[in-house]
Amino acid sequence: MAGARREGSALPNPPGLPIADALHLRWAPDAGGIRAPGPARTEWPVGGRGSSAPPRRRARHAPPPNGPSNHPGSGGRWPPGGGFGGLAPRCALALLALLPLTAAPARAQDGVVEGTGSNYGGVGLIEMRNARFRPDGTVEAGTSLRHQRGFWFLGFQALPWLETTFRLSQRLNGTTGSGMVADRSFDLKIRLWEERDWRPALAVGIQDIAGTGIYGGEYLVASKRFWDFDITLGIGWGRLGTYADGNNPLTDISDSFADRRRNVGEGGTLRWGSYFHGEDISIFGGVEWTVPPLDTPWGVFDGLRAKLEFSGDRLRDERGGYPANTTNLGGYAASRVNAGLQWSNDWLDVGLHWVNGTDLLLRASLRMDPYDPPRAPLPAPPAMAARPEGGSAEAQEAAPRIFAALREAGLRGTAVAIEGEEARIAVSGGRYRTLAQVAGRVVRAAQPYLPRQVERVVIAWSRDGVEIARLMVLRSAIEAAARGHGSAEEIFATAILMAPGDPFEDAARARGPFLDWSIEPRVRVVLGDPSRTLLYQAAVAGGVRLDLGLGVSFAGSVAQVAAQNLDDAAPSDSVLPHVRTDYALYAEEGRNLAIPTLYAERMWSPAPDVFARATAGYLEPMFAGISGEVLWRPRESPFAIGLDVNYVAQRDYDQRFGLRDYRVTTGHASLYLDLPWWNLTTTIRGGRYLAGDWGGTVEVARRFDSGIEVGAFATFTDVSAARFGEGSFDKGIFIRVPLDLFGVQSRSSIGTVIRPTQRDGGQRLAVDNPLWEVTRDGREDALRRGAGWFTR
C-alpha cells in the first residue's frame, strides 16, 4: 500500500500502554493494584529430589532410587527395576535424529501443522508439550479442570516462533495434603526449526519459568507428521523428568547440571540454577490422530483429534514430593499413559481426557486472531452527497451548517476556513479511533456545504484540547471511494500528513465552552490473590469534561460500586509505603459515590511535534497533587521522548476530598520506540516511583492493525526482593481491545493487566491523559495502519 506523502519515512506501529490494573473505559485510571500476601512460602523448595542439601551424585547408568516399592500406589517406574540409567537420553536423542529419516516427504508439503491445546494451556498433547504452535498472534484463554486441580490460562503466540502462557492454578496444598491453594506460573516455548520433508519440527521450552517451581520443568521436543498422525518425542527435566528414566545428558558437559537449585526466596525471579538441571530426565512422547470427517445425521463432523500420551511427569498432585519429598504423603500417578479426545474449530477447543490412570479431565478454551478478530458490525457511514452547484465561499456563512453536520456525525467542529480550492476544518474529540476515519467522516459531513471548487480539505484533529495531527485529503479521492470507483488505499496514497500548527487564519470559530460527558461500566479483576482465586469490582461511573478553550479544561468523575468482593482481600503486609496494596480498603470505603478524579488541566503544543500537560487536583483514586509532562513526538520518526514530574499526596480510602499523611515526589524519563519487527514497540522508563524507590521499567508490546494490543512489562528498583515481598519485583502482562470490535462506535478500549502479585515497589502514578496515549494516533505510522478506515 502506498504511503502518505511526507518528508520522512514510516516505521512500525506506536508503542506503549499505561499500565493500570483495571478493566475499564476512559475516565477510569486505575490506582489500585493487587495486594500480595506475605513472603512466598513454597511448599516444595525448587530443586531436585531429596533434602535441602546438595544432591549426592549417583553413579552413571545406575538405577535411580525411589523405585515402586518405596511408594505404594505410585504406578511404578518404567521399565520395571529402576529406569534406563544413562541409556535413556542417548536413545531419545537418537530417536529424535531418526524421526526425519522415516518421514513421508509427500505429507510434509502440506504446510504448517497447527496444534491443539494441552491441559497446561500451551499447544501440546495432553500433559506434555509438542513442537507445534498456534498461528502468529493468536490469543487463547481457557481452563482445564480435574479432581483437586484447576488451571486457568491465557496464552499468546507472541511471535511466529515464541509461545507464551500465563497460568493460574488452584491445586491441592502439597504441604498439608488437604485444602486448596493458588499458584501462578509463566511458560515459554521457542521453535528451533520448522518441519520439512526430511526433518521434524523442533522446539525447546521452560514451564513455570519464574514462579514457585511447583510445575517447573524444561523440555526438548520434536514432532513429525505422518499422514493423519502427528508423532511427538521429547526429553523432560525437572517436573517433566520425575519418572527418572535416565541421567541428565548435560552432566557430560558439566557436573554442575546435576544440581537443581532449591531455594526460590520470595519467588518471581528467574531460577538460573534450575533450568535443565537435575540428575534425572524422563522420556515422553505421544501421537495425535486427526480423525477423518464423519458423516452424521446432522451433517459432517470435522475437527476431532484423538490423543495418546506417554508422560514424563510422575506426579498426580503436589503431595508426591516435587521438587523435594519432604512429607512422604504419596501423590504419584497410577499410570504414565494418558489418552483423550479433543475437538477444535476456528475459535473453540474442547477436550476430554483420562489422565494419571485415575482422573477425568476437561479442557476448554477460546481463541482469537488479532489480525482478523470477530467484529460486530458498525453503522455504515452516511451516503456521500453530491457537490453543491453553488455553495458559499464565505466561511462565516458555511460554518454553522458544517458545525451542525459534524455534530450529527459525532464530532465537534471548532473552526472552518475556506480559501480558493482549499477548505480547512478543525475538529475535536469524537467517537472515532483513527485519524483516517475522522478525515472520512469530516469530508462526508461537510460535503453539501463546501463550494464546488474546493478540492483539498485540511483536517486539524484535537484530543483533550491539544491538536495531535493535521491531514490534507483530496475531496475527489473520497468521492471516488464512496461511489465504488476508488479505495481507501488510494485516499491514503494522495494524503499528506502535516505537523500540528497555529490555529487557522481567517476562520469562523465555534463558541465555547464545550461540555462532554459519559456514563460507562467499570470492571476490575484481581487474579490469584491468596484469599480468593478471583476478586472483582463492578461499578458504574459518570464523567464530565468542560473545555474552556486554549487547552484549558476541568474534568471529574463519580463512581458507584454495584457488586464486588474486592473488599474481602487480605490486608497488606508490605513493609514499604502502602501506595497500592491497600486496595481492599479503597474498595470497601469507596463503594458509595467515590470521586476517582477531579482536576484542572491544560494541554498545549509549545513547538512543532512537542506537547505539554499540566494537571492539578485529585489525579487518580489513590493520589492527589500536581503533575507536569512534556513529550517530543516527531510525527514521522519511530520514537518519542517524554518527561513527567509529579508531587502527590495519598488520598483517604473513601476517595472523597481527604488526604493522608504520605507525600512523595515521583517522575520518569521515558523512551517510546517502534521496533522494525512484527509491529513490536517498546517503552523504557527510568525514575522515581510512588514508594520512593528508584529504578526502571521495560515494556514490550505488539499492536495489531485491528487495534488489539498485547504486551508485558517488568520493573526493577533499588528495593530488595526481601523488602519487595512475594514476587521479588513488579511484572505483568496486559491486553487492550478497542470497543469498536463490539459494534460500539468509540475510540475507547477495554483492557486489563495481569500481575502474578501486586506489591508497592515499582508503582507509577496513573493520570487520565498521559501525553503518549493522547497523541500516538496522530503519527504517520498510526495513519498508515488505520488507512482502511477512510471509507468506514
Task: Please state the domain extents for the chain.
Answer: 86-368, 564-780
pLDDT at 22 over 80: no
| 674 closest CA partner among 781, 775, 774 | 781
pLDDT of the residue at 73: 32
What CA–CA distance (Å, rounded) separates 461 from 113?
Answer: 46
Least trusted range by pLDDT, from 85-89, 290-294, 638-642, 708-712: 85-89
Cβ pair 629, 643 in contact under 8 A: yes
What CA–CA distance (Å, rounded) separates 263 from 251?
Answer: 21
Band (pLDDT 50/70/90 cuts) for residue 567 is: confident
What CA–CA distance (Å, rounded) separates 679 from 640?
Answer: 16
Task: Choose between 475 and 11: higher pLDDT.
Answer: 475
The rounded percent of the chain whose pLDDT value lies above 90 is: 55
Band (pLDDT 50/70/90 cuts) for residue 502 is: confident
pLDDT of the residue at 396: 82
The gap between the terminal CA atoms of the chain, to the nearest Å, is: 18
pLDDT of the residue at 754: 84
8-state DSSP, 196: B
pLDDT at 190 over 50: yes
Least trusted range by pLDDT, from 84-98, 333-347, 480-494: 84-98
Cβ pair 783, 492 in contact under 8 A: yes
pLDDT of the residue at 35: 32
Cβ pair 391, 451 in contact under 8 A: yes
Band (pLDDT 50/70/90 cuts) for residue 192 is: very high
Task: Choose between 218 and 82: higher pLDDT.
Answer: 218
Average pLDDT, the chain: 83
pLDDT at 179 over 70: no
Three-state SS sequence of 246-302: EECHHHHCCHHHHCCCCCCCCCCCCCCCCCCCCCEEEEEEEEEEECCCEEECCEEEC
Q: What is the pLDDT of residues 706-753, one digit of tens each?
A: 889 999 999 999 998 888 877 778 888 999 999 888 888 888 888 888
pLDDT of the residue at 85: 47
pLDDT at 89 over 50: yes
The rounded percent of the chain whose pLDDT value lies above 70 is: 81
| 68 phi, psi to nearest 5 deg | -60, -30
Q: Residue 485 contacts by C-beta under 8 Å, 6 or more apart in sequence? A: none
Cβ pair 685, 114 in contact under 8 A: no
Least trusted range by pLDDT, from 93-102, 266-275, 435-444, 460-469: 93-102
CB atoms within 10 A of CB 527: 21
pLDDT of the residue at 388: 87
Q: How far is CA 763 from the centre of its chain?
A: 18
Task: Choose between 516 and 624: higher pLDDT.
Answer: 624
Q: What is the mean pLDDT of residues 670-674?
A: 95
Band (pLDDT 50/70/90 cuts) for residue 262 is: low
Q: Please compute Rg for the chain using Cα positions.
A: 29
pLDDT of the residue at 317: 72
What CA–CA distance (Å, rounded) separates 121 from 167?
Answer: 7
Cβ pair 220, 204 in contact under 8 A: yes
Q: What is the pLDDT of residues 341-367, one digit of tens each?
A: 999 999 999 999 999 999 999 999 999
pLDDT of the residue at 141: 94
pLDDT at 76 over 70: no
Q: What is the pLDDT of residues 385-440, one digit of tens each?
A: 998 886 666 778 889 999 999 999 999 999 999 998 999 999 998 889 899 999 99
Q: What is the mean pLDDT of residues 507-511?
A: 90
| 289 closest CA partner among 302, 273, 304, 268 | 304
Least trusted range by pLDDT, from 36-40, 154-158, 218-222: 36-40
Burial 140-169 (b: 16+ CB within 10 A, else e): bbbebebebbbbbbbbbbbbeeebbbbbbb
| 270 phi, psi to nearest 5 deg | -70, 135
Band (pLDDT 50/70/90 cuts) for residue 136 is: very high
Cβ pair 467, 554 in contact under 8 A: no
pLDDT at 58 over 60: no
Least trusted range by pLDDT, from 22-36, 312-326, 329-343, 539-553: 22-36
pLDDT of the residue at 292: 93
pLDDT of the residue at 472: 96
pLDDT at 42 over 50: no
What CA–CA distance (Å, rounded) separates 715 from 725?
Answer: 14
Cβ pair 524, 32 in contact under 8 A: yes
pTM for this structure?
Answer: 0.81
Band (pLDDT 50/70/90 cuts) for residue 201 is: very high
**CA angle, 268 then 269 then 274, to 5°:** 115
pLDDT of the residue at 716: 93
Which pairing describes strands 229-238 and 280-290: parallel, antiparallel, or unpaired? Answer: antiparallel
pLDDT at 104 over 70: no
Indicate left, alpha or beta for 175 from its phi (over 0: left) and psi (-120 to 50: alpha): alpha
Least trusted range by pLDDT, from 156-160, 181-185, 569-573, 655-659: 181-185
pLDDT of the residue at 56: 37
8-state DSSP, 155: E
Half-sphere exposure of 440 (CA within 13 A, CB side): 31
Which three three-digit cell numbers place residue 591?
463503594
pLDDT at 122 over 90: yes
Which three three-digit cell numbers place residue 229?
498422525
Q: What is the mean pLDDT of residues 269-275?
A: 76
Band (pLDDT 50/70/90 cuts) for residue 586 is: very high
What CA–CA distance (Å, rounded) separates 413 from 425?
Answer: 7
| 781 phi, psi to nearest 5 deg | -65, -40
Q: Which whole-number Å values give the CA distances from 502 to 40, 277, 446, in the listed order? A: 57, 64, 22
